[in-house]
Structure 1
């Protein structure tokens, strides 16, 4: 496994953890503002690894855009939940799941592309 594949695996794990934390918050868990901030694991990966090592890879740009959309969705869902609109937040999580699948598909394409370069 080359470094790019390891980096992609790390992002995949961070993304899955991120989505799990969102689900946890929407089902009564504590909201961790630091985790969902620009210092959180997914954002940190983009700023320290993704945009440093793979800035010219088109899939990375798409991933960055998707993550920004996901971040916005999370803020909205948490706001709904904290405002007592729990069912709406749960319904909105389904759309986040769809966006997450898209994110993981793009990440898999990027990983395959990078693996083919070795």
Structure 2
């Protein structure tokens, strides 16, 4: 199975979905649920397991992406705890940390996409 640029774009969309859900929690639009922060329930985590790993195994890029995803989810969970303790503005400001992780994941996705297209 060859991965296409579209596969990597879909992965980026999955990451945007998480950030949107987290932002919704921190702005009081929705209640948090535990699955929001579980790698196995996260759309990007599922994509890594079912699409990326079968093609790239445990390459350094895949390991980095898994670590960054875990950092993103842990940070998001911490921000929700802050929000629930009434530290609303601090929690919202912490979205910048999530964004930094997301940018690093985007960079990895772009590099891997370029490699995949170059290989194909």
TM range (shorter): 0.7 to 0.9
Unaligned runs of 5+ in 2: none
**Root mean square deviation, CA, Å:** 1.7
Structure 1 stretches of at least 4 aligned residues deviating more than 6 Å after TM superposition:
none
What is residue 103 of structure 1 aligned with on the other side?
105
TM-score w.r.t. structure 1 length? 0.87
Partner of 1:34: 35
Distance in 1 (CA, whole Å) between partners of 2:96 and 2:45 is 22
In 2 relative to 1, CA 22–39 (structure 1 residues): closer, same or farther, beyond 3 Å? same
Moved more, 102-111 or 24-33: 24-33
Are 2:3 and 2:116, in contact at CA under 8 Å, matched by a contact in 1?
no
Which deviates more from structure 2 when the two are superposed, residues 2-11 or residues 101-110? 2-11
Q: Equivalent residue for 2:89? A: 87
CA distance in structure 2 between the aligned counterparts of 1:34 and 1:46, rounded to whole angstroms: 17
* Residue equivalent to 2:55: 53
Aligned residue for 1:28, secondary structure, equals: coil
Give structure 1 stretches of 5+ with no counterpart: none
- Paired with 1:4 and 1:57, the residues of 2 have a C-alpha distance of 18
Q: TM-score, normalised by structure 2?
A: 0.86
* Residues 34-80 of structure 1: per-residue CA shift (max 9 Å, x gap): 34322231221122222222214322221111101111101101111
